[in-house]
Amino acid sequence: MDMRKVASIGSLVLGVLLIIGSIGTWVMVSSTLDDQRITTPDDAVCLPDTNVNGPFSAYCQAMTIDRNVLETTDGQRYAELDREDPLRDVAQSASFLQASLFTSVLSFGVAAMAFGMGVLFVLIGLGMRDVREQVHELQRT
């Protein structure tokens, strides 16, 4: 089999797999967030009173948690609080929630990047197929 054909088909298959995987990841993360029934508060840093099920709403919720916990702890983070401070548990929970939300934001970003790469691989595969066909046609003449 012609290596140009193999490369073209390989690029197309890889592109389609990346697109399917990225859409699946986006839907899974979005539905998992949606299942949590989280809504940004009215006084959220951004996107107030919004269901948290996408990258922007997850980011806004994480930033709102950060603002609120810093107000509660007088600007101190978990590691800065004394071990005996009762607010340390609040700061720890807030830190875990933020990390989970930022992981979701990162997952959305990776899914978007994979989608873009998938489209790029499909375009490369189609371009290689066109070049192969043009070379084959030139060889016939």
Residue-wise pLDDT tens digits, 67-117? 999 999 999 999 999 999 999 999 999 999 999 999 999 999 999 999 999
- CA–CA separation, 15 and 30 (whole Å): 22
- 8 A C-beta contact, residue 121 and residue 14: yes
Tell me the pLDDT tens digit for each residue of 20-66: 999 999 999 999 999 999 999 999 999 999 999 999 999 999 999 99
pLDDT for residue 88: 95
Per domain, the residue ranges of the chain are 3-140
Whether the pLDDT of residue 18 is over 90: the answer is yes
pLDDT for residue 102: 97
If you count them, how many residues does the chain have?
Answer: 141
Burial of 50 (0-12, 13-18, 19+ CB in 10 A): middle
Tell me the pLDDT tens digit for each residue of 65-78: 999 999 999 999 99
Kind and range of the H or E run holding 134: helix 87-140
